[in-house]
Each structure stands twice: as C-alpha cells, then as structure tokens.
Amino acid sequence: MPHIALPEGQFGIRGALAFRPETARPLNELADFLLHAPNSLSAGDRELIATYVSYLNDCHFCQSIHGAIAAAHLDGDEELVRRVKADFQYAAISEKLKALLVIASKVQRGGKNVTVEDVAHARELGATDVEIHDTVLIAAAFCMYNRYVDGLATVQPHDQAMYRERGKMVARDGYVSVSKTYLPAEPVRG
Amino acid sequence: MAHIAIPEGLPGISGGFAFRPETAKPMRELANILLHESNSLTMGERELIATYVSSRNDCYFCQTSHGAAAAAHLGGDDVVQRVRTDFESAPVTAKLKALLAIAGKVQQDGKLVTAEDVERARREGASDIEIHDTVLIAAAFCMYNRYVDGLGTWQPRDPSMYAQMGQHLAEHGYLKSSR
C-alpha cells in the first residue's frame, strides 16, 4: 500500500504524478525532452540508458515500463533489453552506446565516479558533448524518478502485458501527451 | 575542467543549465515549485532538506549554495550546520526531524522508507503533501547532485559567492539565473 493517499487505480509514477499535478508537469517535460524529443541518440538508445539505470536502482516499475518503451522503439526486441540489463558489454548495441552506458552506471553510483578517461573513450567512439551531457542527465534523472516511485511505495504490478501495451503507447505519443490520460485536466486560461 | 565544453565562468549547475537550456527549463521549474512556491513547509525547512540530501551525496556546490539559501531564510548558518552534522539534536521541529529521516532514507534508496517512518512524520503533524514533497525533494537532489558532479562542473571554494547566491535564491527563487 502506498505511504500516502495516492489516487487509486494509477500504477507506479502515475499515482504520484496525479497526486501532485504541479510537479508532474516539469517531471513529464524533462522525461519527454530527454527520451522522446528528436536527438542524435535514438529514442531506443536513450530508453536503454533509462532502463539500465532503473535496473541498477532496482526499481521494478521503472525498469519494466522503460524496458517496454525501449523494446517498442527497437521493433519489439525484448531480448536485447534483457541482454543490456544482464551484461551490456556483450549485447548487440553500438560501441558508442556501451561507452555511454559505462558513464551512466558511474553516475548512478555518484557523479564524481565519472573519469576523464570514461569521457575520452565515449568521444573516441563518436559521442558528442550533447550526447555525453544527455547521458549524464538521463542517468541522474532516473536516480530521481526511481527514488520517487519507490519512496512513496507506489503500486507496481507484475504484469508484462500491461507494460508492453503502455510501452507502445508512450513510444508512439511521448510522455507529455500520454500524461493527459491520467492527470486532471488543466484549467482553461484566458 | 568540466567533462564537456560548458560555457566558462559559470559555477556548478548554472554551467549545465547554460549548455542545455531545453532541460534547464523543467529542472528550474521543478526546483522552484519544490523549494520556493508557497507551501505549508517553510522555504527554510525545504532548503534544509535539500542541503541535508546534498551533503549526504557529498556535492560541494549544491550543499553550499542550498545551505546558504537556508541560512538566508533562517537568518543564520548555525541551524544549517547542525542539521548537516546531526539533525536529531538540531534546534528544528520534531516534524522536520521526522521528514529529514525520510529524506535520508530516500537518498540511499526509496525502498528503505518504512511505514513506521511515515507514521512518525504523521504523528508529528506532517500532511500527505508534506511527505510527498519531502520524498520528491530528496529524490530530485539525487538528480541535481549527480548532474553537477557527473559533468565535472566548476565548483569554486568562495564563501562570499555562495552567500550572495543563497541570498538571491532565497529572494527570487529558481526560475532565472542569478548571474
């Protein structure tokens, strides 16, 4: 049971977001920009970073939903998502993404763990400064989202079909657009 | 030197914000709602939670700038130092102590927050919104701290700069750059 009176029937972060729509707005805008907006890193690559950090933080809801969104971007390849979580160095992903996942995993433990060598390695494999920035911020942001979801003891179902369905919807429409289905309607202005 | 080419002369998070204005916007708005907009928790109390979490994450820039903002709200640095070293014996309310205990758990891992921790906060008068905001402030600073340290931002050791920044944040909030 959640620690506070979250709206019933909303799972994971959606319960917390619907409880406090004021903070929901910037939280969804940040996720939308980092994971869904156009970027030189594909949406699939960015969702894999989010999934991997959520897995390291042991957040069931976040790793399940972002794993499902990643798979939706990757032609339904759930096996690739599993391999990235199990040992990304042996997964069928680019060397650049591997170098970015190393940086993300350092940020998950603490930002000061990222070394000049980690960054130089990512750059040698073609990562740009914006891509390195966004990797650091995706990893940092999921250290927030994961703690938010777990710290309120939100309801986190074990239902692969539900995550798969929602994953497809978020991959297609993005975070801000989907949030309109579970947030209270914004007051009409003007 | 920072890990990426962020504009020079901007300390801590302002370097990351200047490099990527698109992500700066929601990050500033989130900080402003959590720490500066009206709330049943005072701005001083909320800045103390932010400072305490940043101190546990060992982020020099964040704990110093938010410590200075807390000191500006509270009229002095003494309570800030005592909250950082041992909040249970600091001169703050029993409610804030219970919320700081929750924030300390969230800083390690959200799953460590127990029903007893929440019950204690409620017994001391905390509302559901105050518990929610405490959890989200603690979680958000696990992001801000990692962002500031993970980019290798410039974090000067200049007490007067932080005092000025704290004063500015306390008065004007987080939506616009202080520099």
- Report pTM: 0.98
User: Would you state the pLDDT for residue B176?
Assistant: 85
A45 in a domain, yes or no?
yes
Residue B177 reports pLDDT greater than 80: no
Position A16 in a domain: no
Q: Are A17 and A24 in contact (CB under 8 A)?
A: yes
Q: What does the pLDDT look like over A11-25, one tens digit per residue?
A: 999 999 999 999 999
DSSP B70: H
Which of the four pLDDT bands, split at 50, 70 and 90, describes residue A184? confident
> Across the interface, do B132 and A29 touch by the CB < 8 Å criterion?
no
**How far is the alpha carbon of A108 from chain B, nearest alpha carbon, in Å?**
8
Look at residue A173 and tell me if it is in a domain: yes
Residue-wise pLDDT tens digits, A107-148: 999 999 999 999 999 999 999 999 999 999 999 999 999 999
Q: Is residue A64 part of a domain?
A: yes
CATH number at residue A48: 1.20.1290.10
pLDDT of A48-83, one tens digit each? 999 999 999 999 999 999 999 999 999 999 999 999
Average pLDDT over residues A163-177: 98
Is the pLDDT confidence value at A188 over 70? no
Q: How confident is the model at residue A189 (pLDDT cuts 50, 70, 90)?
A: low
Contact A146, A53 (CB under 8 A): yes
Following DSSP, what letter does each residue of B12-63 receive, concatenated? THHHHHHH-HHHHHHHHHHHIIIIIS--SS-HHHHHHHHHHHHHHTT-HHHH
Write out the DSSP string of chain A. --SS-PPTT--THHHHHHH-HHHHHHHHHHHIIIIIS--SS-HHHHHHHHHHHHHHTT-HHHHHHHHHHHHHHTTT-HHHHHHHHHHGGGSSS-HHHHHHHHHHHHHHH-GGG--HHHHHHHHHTT--HHHHHHHHHHHHHHHHHHHHHHHTT------HHHHHHHHHHHHHH-HHHHHTTTSPPPPPP-
Residues 109-138 of A with CB under 8 A from B: 110-112, 114, 116, 119, 129-130, 132-134, 136-137
CB contacts, 8 Å: B151 with chain A: 111, 133, 136
Domain that holds residue A155: 24-177
Whether A4 and B131 lie within 8 Å, measured CB to CB = yes
Q: How far apart are CA A28 and CA A143, in angstroms?
A: 15
Report yes or no: A151 and B113 within 8 Å, Cβ to Cβ. yes
Domain total in chain A:
1
Give which of B46, B143, B148, B153 to mutate to test A binding, by max A Cβ within 10 Å.
B143
Does pLDDT of A187 surpass 80?
no
Sequence-distant (≥ 6) Cβ neighbours of residue A1 within 8 angstroms: A153
Question: What pLDDT digit, counting tens, does each position of B39-76 carry?
Answer: 999 999 999 999 999 999 999 999 999 999 999 999 99
- The answer to the question of residue A148 being in a domain is yes
Specify the pLDDT at position B179.
Answer: 53
Predicted confidence band of residue A186 (pLDDT cuts 50, 70, 90): confident
Structure tokens belonging to residue B149: 């340290």
Q: Nearest CA to A131 among A142, A122, A140, A118? A: A122
Residue A79 lies in a domain: yes
| % of chain A at pLDDT higher than 70 | 98
Within a domain: residue A184?
Answer: no
Q: How much is the average pLDDT of B147-171?
A: 97
The complex's ipTM? Answer: 0.98
Q: Which of A57, A133, A176 to mutate to test the interface with B (most CBs of B within 10 A)?
A: A133
- The C-alpha atoms of residue A134 and residue B20 are separated, in whole angstroms, by 9
Closest CA relative to residue B1, chosen from B151, B179, B158: B151
Cβ neighbours of A102 in B, within 8 Å: none
The pLDDT mean for chain A works out to 97
A29 vs B26, B110, B146: nearest CB: B26
Contact state of A5 with B5 under an 8 Å Cβ cutoff: no
- Asked if A133 and B22 come within 8 Å (Cβ–Cβ), the reply is no
Mean pLDDT for all residues in chain B: 97
Residue A90 lies in a domain: yes
Domains and CATH numbers, chain B: 23-172 (1.20.1290.10)
Contact criterion met (CB < 8 Å) for A152 and B57: no
Whole-number percent of chain B with pLDDT over 90: 97
Please give, rounded to a whole number of angstroms, the shortest distance from the CA of A5 to a CA of chain B: 7
CA dist., res. B149 & res. A75, Å (int): 35
- Answer whether A111 sits within 8 Å of B145, measured CB to CB: yes
Q: How many CB atoms lie within 10 A of CB B76?
A: 10
